[in-house]
Amino acid sequence: MKMKIIIPVLIAISICFSGTTYAKIHQDFPILVLTSDQDFGEYAGEILKAEGFNEFVMEKLSDSKVTMDYISGFDIVILPETKLSKYQLAMLSGYVKNGGNLIAFRPDNKVCNLFGLADQKSTISEGYIAVDDKSNIGKGILTETLQFHGIADNYKLAGAQTIADLFDKANPTRKWPAVVINRYGRGHAIAITYNLPKSIVYTRQGNPLFAGVEKDGIPGLRGMDLFTDGWVDTRKNTINQADEHMHILSNCIKYLSSNEKPLPRLWYFPDSLKCLVVLDNDGEDSSEKDFEPQFRDIDSLGAKMTLYVKDVDRVSKNWVEKWTAKGFEIAGHPDDTKEAGNPGWNHMDSVLNSIKTQIATKYGLSVRTNVNHWFVWCGTDADGIQDFGAQARLEEKQGIEMDANYAHYDMNSNQGGHFLGSSGIHQGNYNGSGLAMKYADTKGKTVNVYQRFNSVYDQQYNELHDPEGFFNCFKGLMDRSLNNEVYSIVSIKSHNDEYYFSKKPLMKMLTYANSNNIPVWTALKLLDFLKMKDDANFSDFNWLKNRLSFKLSSSLANSNGLTFLLPLIHRGLQMRSISIDGIDRKIERKMIKGYEYSFVTVIPGKVYNVSASYK
């Protein structure tokens, strides 16, 4: 009985005195991401990397080191969807009460008072949210309704301020809070009433219940089957819905950091570009003499391309060495079409290993990026259990680091028209994202393989007999990225055996990219940039007398610049100077999603000491 009495007392004492006992001792990394073994909490780290907040650490909520003492050292704590113990409830409440900043995804309803909410004991599945752009956190976010996937809890306000509303349909008559902020003690608590990381994965990867199931009537199981039966609201394709949800989280972090110190973030693209283009080609049954004219055309415009070779007997080592020396990429095009209707783990594994071995043996090259013939997608794991991340897990097992098996192709489906969305200038990214991010498996564990969405697909437009639409699809995606902050890596596929159709519009695309000073890369070059960006981190923060100092550490070299952003305004103070390793830099001002930042570009592969003063 003594233990049952003493433990709550000790907890209460530690909470009561934490405001004076615990200092911010973890200044190396100001953000703590707590995780659980399920519910996609781990994927919050991938979202932070995509948004450039590389100043975080991840810990399991159940770890014994996660105590009041430990979490009190962080400016911001991010909490996954999980059921909380009494100790954890007390710990998190005490953290906020004593000045901490908490962001929670679909928080345990036992702690709703912390967020200024009253539980209505009901939920919404597969609904919509709408952001109030007049709120501080909603600034710069689109105000039209956005889909979310999964389940959200219904609450009434009980002291919180609404940032976004929750609806059960696109044009609702009833609403609940979707994102709120509440002042609790000396701190702030933000509740996102749906599981934001899970929703983003479901938006990007499709319906996990459709994994390994033929849904669209097009021969072969593909990633596109996962987006059937109205999974994607195609009216929203041009706004990158998943990315808008990530911007909400970024704005939450930016707002909460205004109570502490300004936080830097890395920019999405190399240098200070607002867009990037990737070009690839499925080799199919063509030979090097067929590829040569297309390669020369592309090279003449300063672009590069990835060629996925299905049959190494048709392409010589000398030809491969000639073009890889020019910056082109040669990788494998695995062919598992023999079991396209039911691709299994073991056979797909052997197919991947076979082409990887052939490429290494004949050309001396490692296969690091991948597109399967027919986009065949394995949807079951080694035990035959449904998993929409199974194909990515297989690629991870084989050392493949980037996949582009999701593409815009929905011709002659059984879904009643073009279920992936309209074509031409109004075609967007039906997976809701213009960014390349890592996959997750069905349990929410991150897979170490990047998903590169193939949005500008020649076969779709060839079958539509629409070369102008092929170009306009590309132009629309690029223009929205350059001019409307719908930031996108625009991936083009141009089959060599369809070059009779795609040559003219492809040359227009490459010329248009050149006119906007946007480079055209191979998949491999994009992969190397993303790995470098994700590897970089900010640490050793110090905020004293309105001067911020920190380190930017980048261990991987790259031929392109790494750019970070710092808020120009913090607590009403304006940045007056910024220096790198003691050398003053010009403040380069840019407006991004409603906020003004200073952009600074450095050479990757080094450690930099950064200092910025505000007055």
The DSSP line for 113-129 is GGGTEEEEEEEEES-EE
Look-up: residue for tokens 């972090």? 253
Q: What is the pLDDT of residue 170?
A: 59
Residue 382's identity, in one-letter code, is: A
- Whose structure tokens read 């003219």? 504
* Residue 370 Ramachandran class (φ > 0 left, ψ -120 to 50 alpha, else beta): beta
Per DSSP, the residues of 220-247 read: S-BGGGGGTTTTS-GGGGGG-HHHHHHH
Long-range Cβ contacts of 578-587 (<8 Å, 24+ apart): 578/610, 578/611, 578/612, 578/613, 579/610, 579/611, 579/612, 580/608, 580/609, 580/610, 581/608, 581/609, 582/609, 582/611
- CATH homologous superfamily for the domain 276-531: Glycoside hydrolase/deacetylase (3.20.20.370)
Residues of the chain with pLDDT under 50: 1-26
What's the gap between Cα 265 and its chain centre? Answer: 14
In this structure, what DSSP letter does residue 43 have?
Answer: G
Q: Read off the DSSP letter of residue 532.
A: H
Of 17, 14, 26, residue with least CA distance to 542? 26
Under DSSP, the state recorded for 380 is: B
Residue 373 pLDDT: 98
**With 0-12 CB in 10 A as exposed, 13-18 as middle and 19+ as buried, what is 249?**
buried
β pairing state of 537-544 and 583-585:
unpaired
Burial (CB count within 10 angstroms: exposed 0-12, middle 13-18, buried 19+), residue 22: buried
Q: 160 φ, ψ to 5°?
A: -80, 160
How far from each other are the two terminal CA atoms of the chain, in whole angstroms? Answer: 57
Look up residue 529 and give its two tokens: 């940039």
Token pair 């749906």 in the structure block, residue: 194
Question: Taking the model in full, what pTM does it have?
Answer: 0.94
DSSP secondary structure string for all residues of 156-215: EESS-EEEEEEESSSS-S--EEEEEEEEETTEEEEEESB-HHHHHHHHHH--GGGTT---
**What dotted CATH number matches 536-614?**
2.60.40.1180
Q: What pLDDT is stored for residue 259 in this prediction?
A: 87
The 10 Å Cβ neighbour count of residue 233 is 16
Cα angle 378, 380, 385; round to 5: 175
Let me know the angle formed at the C-alpha of 124 by 120 and 125, rounded to the nearest 5 degrees. Answer: 155
pLDDT at residue number 514: 98
What secondary structure letter does DSSP report for 86?
H
**Encoding tokens for residue 29?**
């990394």
Task: Check residue 16 and give its pLDDT.
Answer: 36
Other C-beta atoms closer than 10 Å to the C-beta of 103 total 24
CA distances from 448 to 74, 401, 402 (A): 27, 7, 9
DSSP 401: -
Buried b (16+ CB within 10 A) or exposed e, 170-207: eebeebbbbbbbbebbebbbbbbbbbbbbbbbbbbbbb
Q: Which residues, at least 6 apart from 28, have a Cβ–Cβ distance to it below 8 Å? A: 539, 540, 541
Identical fold, 2-221+233-263 and 276-531: no
Bridge partners of 601, per DSSP, are: 563
Backbone angles phi, psi at 562, to 5 degrees: -105, 125
Nearest-angstrom CA–CA distance, 377 and 340: 8
Are 570 and 262 spatial neighbours (Cβ–Cβ below 8 Å)?
yes
Neighbours of 72 (CB within 10 A): 23
> What residue segments make up the domains of the chain, in order of their start?
2-221+233-263, 276-531, 536-614
Q: Number of C-alpha atoms within 13 angstroms, CB side, residue 201?
A: 28
- How many Å apart are CA 577 and CA 261, to the nearest integer? 16
**CATH code matching the domain that covers 2-221+233-263, chosen among 3.40.50.880, 3.30.465.10, 3.10.150.10, 3.90.700.10:** 3.40.50.880
Looking at the chain, the number of H-run helices and the number of E-run strands are 14, 31
**What span, in angstroms and rounded, lies between the C-alpha atoms of 150 and 129?**
12
CA atoms of 69 and 14, how far apart (whole Å): 9
Residues in the chain: 615
Give the orientation angle of helix 2-21 with respect to helix 86-97, to 10 degrees: 20
